[in-house]
């Protein structure tokens, strides 16, 4: 089995799914499927032999760190973990100077941080590809792994109904855009005041015009999951919002993904969670550990989707 990398991806940043066409998103997913098959069959695929990835973590992580570090290793490269204590950025060096310096040493940068503007500024000054590992606004790598999982489990994407239950957060934002790119219908169920950002919804709706996807927001979670092929949830208070968690629980109590809500969807619905989960809050043990859950398949697919992204942009 051989892999050919489309040269049009070379050197590009991966900051948001909106920056890629529907065809390009599908090409990334196809490569991810191929790389996953090769990894499972023990076929070496050192597409990035000798290349280095700097991994900047302003926010802690389990899945992002391990999947990127293992992924670059399986591609034949080396991953360098960089915490705030490891960089002069933590002591006042500008993002510009950091980007210009790291570009002299590395072949790519993955950054997991708070502000989307930081990622965009880093990418502006860097002469090497920058990959968005998470910001408060977007989580594009997560959603690429999620869409890969849905494609594996359902065999198709176009026309499926995905119900996101919870806060209109970074995961929700990228899911709306990702769904629009692949023709998947996405409905968000959230309390008043917690809807996805208007500008993200507007961008997603624009993309949906090309693929025929339908995107909408409701308040009633039961209405959202009616006829759903996929139910997706996330923590009610994202990282950095811990002080708001108690107050948010009052608004989100009826948005728990439990057996009762699951019963209102299709019998073969799959349940997803980007993790880490607050078991017993946004999702029950019964559902997360139940037969409809694909949560840990989804977590694994972060590895394969990100390998495809790295291979293409860092080639």
Residue 267 confidence (pLDDT): 98
12 is an active site residue: no
CATH of 142-298, one of 3.40.50.720, 3.40.190.10, 3.40.50.1370, 2.60.210.10: 3.40.50.1370
Which residue in the list 58, 74, 116, 142 is annotated as catalytic?
142
pLDDT value of position 241: 67
Question: pLDDT over 70 for what percent of the chain?
Answer: 98
295-313 helix and 63-74 helix, angle to the nearest 10 degrees: 50
Say whether 142-298 and 7-138+301-314 share the same fold: yes
Active site residue 91: no
- Give the torsion through C-alpha atoms of 94, 96, 102, 104, to 10 deg: -130
Residues 6+ apart with CB under 8 A from 161: 184, 185, 187, 227, 228, 229, 230
Tell whether 116 is in a known binding site.
no
Tell whether omega for the bond before 161 is within 30 degrees of 0, i.e. cis: no
Known active-site residue 304: no
Catalytic residue, from 112, 273, 281, 304: name it: 112
Q: pLDDT tens-digit profile of 229-276?
A: 999 999 998 766 667 777 888 899 999 999 999 999 999 999 999 999
Residue 287 confidence (pLDDT) above 80: yes
172 annotated active-site: no
Q: How confident is the model at residue 194 (pLDDT cuts 50, 70, 90)?
A: very high
Which of 190, 207, 234, 281 is catalytic? The answer is 234
pTM for the full model?
Answer: 0.97
Q: pLDDT value at position 113?
A: 96
Residue 162, annotated ligand binder?
A: no
pLDDT tens track for 207-241: 999 999 999 999 999 999 999 999 999 999 876 66
141 is in an annotated binding site: yes
Q: Where are the domains of the chain?
A: 7-138+301-314, 142-298
**Which of 79-93, 113-127, 194-208 shows the lowest mean pLDDT across its residues?**
79-93
* 7-138+301-314 is classed CATH 3.40.50.1370: yes
Q: What is the pLDDT of residues 24-62, one digit of tens each?
A: 999 999 999 999 999 999 999 999 999 999 999 999 899
What is the average pLDDT value for the chain, to the nearest integer? Answer: 96
Gap between the Cα atoms of 33 and 182, Å rounded: 16
Q: How far apart are CA 43 and CA 25, in angstroms?
A: 24
Q: Which phi and psi angles does 4 have, rounded to 5°?
A: -110, 130
Angle in degrees, CA 95, 98, 103, rounded to 5: 125
Q: Which helix (H) or strand (E) holds 80?
A: strand 78-82
Annotated ligand binding at 104? The verdict is: no
The reply to whether 39 sits in an annotated binding site is no
């Amino acid at each position: 089995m051989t892999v050919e990398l489309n040269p049009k991806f070379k050197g590009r940043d991966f900051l948001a799914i909106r920056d890629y066409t529907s065809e390009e998103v599908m090409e990334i997913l196809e490569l991810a499927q191929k790389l996953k098959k090769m990894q499972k069959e023990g076929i070496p695929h050192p597409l990035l032999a000798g290349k280095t990835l700097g991994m900047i973590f302003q926010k802690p992580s389990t899945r992002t760190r391990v999947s990127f570090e293992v992924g670059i290793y399986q591609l034949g490269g080396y991953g360098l973990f960089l915490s705030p204590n490891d960089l002069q950025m933590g002591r006042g060096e500008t993002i510009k100077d950091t980007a210009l310096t790291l570009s002299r040493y590395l072949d790519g940068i993955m950054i997991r941080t708070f502000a989307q503007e930081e990622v965009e500024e880093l990418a502006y000054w860097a002469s090497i590809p920058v990959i968005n590992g998470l910001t408060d606004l977007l989580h594009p790598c997560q959603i690429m792994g999620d869409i890969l999982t849905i494609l594996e489990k359902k065999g198709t994407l176009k026309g499926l109904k995905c119900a996101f239950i919870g806060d209109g957060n970074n995961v929700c934002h990228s899911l709306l855009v990702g769904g629009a790119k692949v023709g998947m219908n996405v409905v968000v169920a959230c309390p008043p005041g917690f809807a996805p950002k208007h500008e993200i919804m507007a961008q997603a709706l624009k993309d949906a015009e090309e693929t025929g996807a339908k995107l909408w927001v409701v308040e009633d979670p039961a209405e959202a999951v009616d006829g759903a092929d996929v139910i997706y949830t996330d923590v009610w208070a994202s990282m950095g919002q811990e002080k708001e968690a108690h107050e948010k629980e009052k608004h989100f109590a009826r948005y728990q993904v439990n057996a009762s809500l699951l019963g209102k969807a299709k019998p073969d619905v799959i349940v997803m969670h980007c993790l880490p989960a607050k078991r017993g809050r946004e999702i029950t043990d019964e559902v997360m550990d139940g037969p409809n859950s694909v949560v840990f398949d989804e977590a694994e697919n972060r590895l394969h989707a990100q390998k495809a992204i790295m291979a293409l942009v860092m080639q």
